[in-house]
Amino acid sequence: MNEAINIEELFGRNVFTVGKMRERLPKNVFKEVKKVMAEGGELSKTSADVVAKAMKDWAVENGATHYTHWFQPLTGITAEKHDSFITHPDEEGRTLLEFSGKELIKGEPDASSFPSGGLRATFEARGYTAWDITSPAFLKEDAVGKVLCIPTAFCSYTGEALDKKTPLLRSEEALNEQALRIVRLFGNTAAKSVGTSVGLEQEYFLVDHEKYLQRADLIFAGRTLFGAPAPKGQEMEDHYFGAIRERIGAFMKDLNVELWKLGVTAKTQHNEVAPAQHELAPIYESGNVAIDHNQLVMETMKKVAGRHGLNCLLHEKPFAGVNGSGKHDNWSMVTDNGVNLLDPGYTPNENIQFLLVLACIIKAVDTHADLLRQSAADVGNDHRLGADEAPPAIISIFLGDQLEDVVRQLVSTGEAKKSKKGGKLVTGVSTLPDLEKDATDRNRTSPFAFTGNKFEFRMVGSSDSVAGPNTTLNAIVAEAFCEAADQLEKAEDFDLAVHDLIKEYLTDHQRIIFNGDGYSEAWVEEAARRGLPNIKSMVESVDALLKPESVKMFERFKIFTKTELESRAEILYETYSKTINIEALTMIDMVSKQILPAVVNYTGKLAKTVLAMQEAGVEPNAQRKLLQQTNALLEEMQAAMEKLQADTAKAAALKEKEQAFYYKDTICADMVALRAPADKLEMIVDKELWPIPTYGDLIFEV
Ligand code: ADP
Ligand code: MG
């Protein structure tokens, strides 16, 4: 069972890597490819043909039968339509396998059924996919066979972005341009570009597939809509980092192998806080590739789970009462010659470039806190952000002791003379080494935390694409860099000007810095005093996209046009309404077909017992009381269901924003009211009669 795994041999086996291109392409073509990768532009038609042929040959040698332009429509997941390599048979009846440069570079899927938010009416449904040369092609290998996947962007006939990748790439370009201006100011003429490095920690739940199939809510909504808490939750803190059970371990092992083959740097695996919850983190890589890879991670988790009789839940809150799942977005900026702009060095107070970058980020996050909050909003995340768990819905920045101290010095005296040192951590055991301490401790409650040489944006939902959050982050930081560079480039005395600017930014935006407990009620009040936005739900966050300042910023850096932003807003409202509608209908379905009949059955049995006991001359006090209780809850449940049915029917008459708010305010409240008696009934009704697996069955018996 435990055959050896050779990671070096496996890693990237299914990827058309730079190394493979170097081997298989003529020198001049390879050079051209590398140049376009680094600097943008287009491959010549002849080179594109050569690359396409090499890619096809490699794919076919490895067993591929089809290719696809793999893209990321506004559904947040990926899309693919397979074409086989076969061509029209010749006179002898043989087919030749072909794949041209044209087919590599451009595709034209019939795109009419993807959400476009009004960007494209169905009668003019043309959408184009365009090869993203910066993300490597790969072979997807499963029951379908092997398919050559070419990462692509997806745009309309008129050039509007219909996907998540295009704006992300635009934001990377904007950030590159503005960040280069900053490093040039400090005399760095060697760097040719600045990119992002991104590491995405992915949380997920695993449940048994047979039990999953018995829960319509998991099937249709991806989360439980009913379920009384199990006697035990996460309070013993025994799952976090606990020994990994064999069944889960076997899944993780297979998952790693599949990911390594795809060139995904799966690095860390562990049990998470909630029972049945786990995490996988890869090693960071360039933002665009990291985000493509995260899509592959999510997809592969689901696929591999199936092979192990498991089901992988990526929903942000599959179970009430225990932690939900997020995706930590570790983000930093690095020059092509390897300088991390967020590396403070040992003495951050002397690292002026770092301080300027930091001040710009602080300014960006404070100025556009609402946009950043919006970027992490999705329907499932409403159960996490601003609810009773991590992180809060209020955007703030955690800097840690050392940097906070530097900022304090700068704001108060205009100068930072010293940096706090980490010092030694004394273990007090003679056989253990004393450890060098980081100058900054960890903080787990901050939505946007500085963690040594990167920021960690912890708000993103586990099922969400990180393309949106990073597009926003890149955009707002590009804007702050641009404004700083505009001032500093024309300064007569650079040293003085940069010193003043850092002080100004930090002074003006220090309200966003918060090093305390982000979960506390005191912080909610304090944040309100500071005037920081506290946007509690996805639908309330959408307005931020269409504020004049936001539109101006996105248009200025050519990341979104106003029309594109309007389309996103429309899709967000629509997605919200559709999702809650599905949840409401699923609840109605489960109550009317499963829970209600089970309770009726139970009360019937109880009633018979009451009668039988009375006949036998014994007073059925306990039974009667139970029957009355159950019946009262049954009535409450029925009334709640009727209300939910009636209210859901009314939603159809509403549109867009109004409809989405109606779902949030009315339907969600109805759903809570329906769940409450059902969960109480679960605690009363005979387990044998209860029609669906309980929380105990689902999260403790995987
Ligand atoms: P945790 O936050 O749970 O301690 P880890 O330190 O294991 O997580 O992982 C954090 C993630 O941050 C990993 O994916 C890691 O590769 C990534 N990371 C580390 N350095 C950088 C950086 N400079 N830029 C972006 N991501 C980084
Ligand atoms: Mg983390």
Per-residue pLDDT tens over the stretch 213-251: 999 999 999 999 999 998 888 888 888 889 999 999 999
The ligand 1 atom at the shortest distance from the C-alpha of residue 199 is 14
318-346: average pLDDT: 95
Identify the pLDDT of residue 302. 98
What's the 3-state SS for 630-649? HHHHHHHHHHHHHHHHHHHH
Q: State yes or no: pLDDT of 8 exceeds 90.
A: yes
Give the domain ranges of the chain: 7-163, 170-189+332-422+438-560, 575-700
Strand partners, 106: 130
**Structure tokens that stand for 609 in this block:** 């017992």
- The dotted CATH code for 7-163 is 3.10.20.70
Q: What are 425's strand-pairing partners? A: 435
CA distance 620 to 623: 5
Angle at which helix 668-684 crosses helix 562-590, to 10 degrees, equals 30
pLDDT at residue 419 above 90? Answer: no
Q: Which ligand 1 atom lies nearest to the CA of residue 201? A: 14
| Burial class of residue 433, CB neighbours in 10 A (0-12, 13-18, 19+) | exposed
Q: How far is CA 532 from CA 397, 443, 460, in A?
A: 12, 20, 19
What pLDDT does 110 receive?
Answer: 74
200 CA → ligand 2 middle, Å? 9
Other Cβ atoms within 10 Å of 293 Cβ, number: 23
Q: Is the pLDDT of residue 569 over 90?
A: yes
Determine the average pLDDT of the residues in 50-59.
97
Rounded Cα gap, residues 355 and 511, in angstroms? 17
Confidence of residue 58 (pLDDT cuts 50, 70, 90): very high
Name the residue with the closest Cα to ligand 1, atom 3.
Answer: 201
Calculate how far, in angstroms, residue 340's C-alpha sits from the geometric centre of ligand 1: 13
Instruction: Give the separation between CA 400 and CA 409, rounded to whole angstroms.
Output: 14
Query: How many Å lie between the centroid of ligand 2 and the Cα of residue 83?
Result: 39
The mean per-residue pLDDT over the stretch 630-644 comes to: 98
Number of residues written out for the chain = 702
The interaxial angle of helices 668-684 and 621-651, nearest 10 deg, is: 160
Give one DSSP letter per residue of 26-78, joined into a string: -HHHHHHHHHHHHH-----HHHHHHHHHHHHHHHHHTTEEEEEEEB-BTTSS-
- C-alpha of residue 292 to centroid of ligand 2, in Å: 19
What residue owns the CA closest to ligand 1's atom 13? 199
CB 422 within 8 A of CB 439: yes
**Packed helices 287-307 and 246-261: angle between N→C axes, nearest 10 degrees:** 140
Ligand 1: centre distance to CA 302 (Å)? 24
For 59, 66, 104, the CA distances from 145, given in Å and listed in that order, are: 12, 8, 20
Residue 326 neighbours by CB distance under 10 Å: 27
Closest atom of ligand 1 to CA, residue 334? 23
SS3 call for 444: coil
Residues 256, 252: Cα–Cα separation, whole Å? 6
Residue 279 three-state SS: strand
The mean per-residue pLDDT over the stretch 450-462 comes to: 96
CA angle 300, 302, 303 (to 5 degrees): 65
Taking the CA of residue 279 as reference, the ligand 1 atom at the shortest distance is 3
Among 284, 297, 457, residue to substitute to test ligand 1 (most atoms within 8 Å of Cβ): 284
Please determine, for residue 120, whether its predicted confidence score (pLDDT) is greater than 80: no
Residue keyed to tokens 């979960």: 519
Residue 36 identity (one-letter amino acid): V
Say how many Å lie between the CA of residue 332 and the centre of ligand 2.
14
**Contact 346/528 with Cβ under 8 angstroms?**
no
Cα 110 to middle of ligand 2, angstroms:
40
Q: How far apart are CA 2 and CA 650, in angstroms?
A: 58
Report whether 251 contacts 266 (CB < 8 A): no
Please, which residues bridge with residue 457 across strands? 329, 448
| Residue 425 pLDDT exceeds 80 | no
The CATH code of domain 575-700 reads 1.20.120.1560
- How high is the pLDDT of residue 388? 65
pLDDT of res. 125 = 66
**Pocket residues: Cβ below 6 A from ligand 1:** 197-199, 201, 268, 281-284, 328, 330-332, 340, 453-454
For the cut 60, the answer to whether the pLDDT of residue 122 exceeds it is: no
Mean pLDDT of the chain: 94
What does the alpha-carbon distance between residue 219 and residue 462 come to, in Å, rounded to a whole number?
17
What is the distance, to the nearest Å, from the Cα of residue 317 to the centroid of all Cα atoms in its chain? Answer: 13
pLDDT score for 497: 96
- In ligand 1, the atom with minimum distance to the C-alpha of 332 is 24
- CA 199–ligand 1 middle distance (angstroms): 5
pLDDT per residue over 66-105, tens digit each? 999 999 999 889 999 999 999 999 999 999 899 999 999 9
Mean pLDDT over 478-491 rounds to 98
Question: pTM (2 decimals)?
Answer: 0.96
Measured CA angle at 643 (ends 321, 674), to 5 deg = 20
Which pairing describes strands 448-450 and 397-398: parallel, antiparallel, or unpaired? parallel
pLDDT at site 112: 74
**For the residues 254-268, what does the mean pLDDT come to?**
98
Tokens standing for residue 538: 């996805």
Q: In sequence order, which residues have a C-beta less than 8 Å from that of residue 50 and are 6 or more positions away?
A: 25, 26, 29, 101
Residue identifier of the C-alpha nearest atom 1 of ligand 1: 201
Residue 213 structure tokens = 């199939």
How many other C-beta atoms can be found within 10 angstroms of the C-beta atom of residue 102? Answer: 12
- Among 276, 281, 283, smallest CA distance to 312 is for 276
Identify any residues that bridge with 322 across adjacent strands, giving them in sequence order.
none
In order of 226, 584, 636, 638, 664, the CA distances from 643 in angstroms are 17, 11, 11, 9, 15
Alpha helix stretches (DSSP H) within 368-462: 369-375, 400-413
- Centre of ligand 1 to C-alpha 654, Å, is 44
- What is the pLDDT at residue 592? 98
Dihedral (Cα; 329, 330, 336, 342), 10-degree rounding: 130
Q: Which residue has the tokens 């989405």?
A: 660
Q: Whose CA is nearest to atom 11 of ligand 1?
A: 199
Residue-by-residue DSSP string for 454-518: SEEE---BTTS-SHHHHHHHHHHHHHHHHHHHHHHHT-SSHHHHHHHHHHHHHHHHGGGB--S-T
Structure tokens of 336? 């092509």
Question: Which tokens is 424 given?
Answer: 């030694």
Mean pLDDT of 453-466: 97
Closest CA relative to residue 450, chosen from 438, 437, 434, 461: 438
For residue 246, what are the contacts with CB-CB under 8 A and spacing of at least 6?
A: none
The separation between CA 197 and the C-alpha centre of its own chain, rounded to angstroms, equals 16
Listed in sequence order, the residues at least 6 apart from 306 whose beta carbon sits closer than 8 Å to its beta carbon are: 209
Q: Counting atoms of ligand 1 from 1, which one is nearest the CA of 331? A: 25
Confidence band, pLDDT 50/70/90 cuts, at residue 689: very high
Contact status, residue 266 vs residue 256, Cβ threshold 8 Å: yes
Alpha-carbon distance of 333 to 354, in angstroms, equals 11
Rounded average pLDDT over 169-182:
98
What pLDDT does residue 431 have? Answer: 74
Q: Which atom of ligand 1 lies at the shortest distance from residue 284's CA?
A: 16
3-state helix, strand, coil in the chain (%, to 5): 50, 15, 35
Which residue of 285, 330, 445 sits with most ligand 1 atoms within 8 Å of its CB, as the best mutation to test the pocket? 330
Contacts of 184 (CB under 8 A, 6+ apart): none
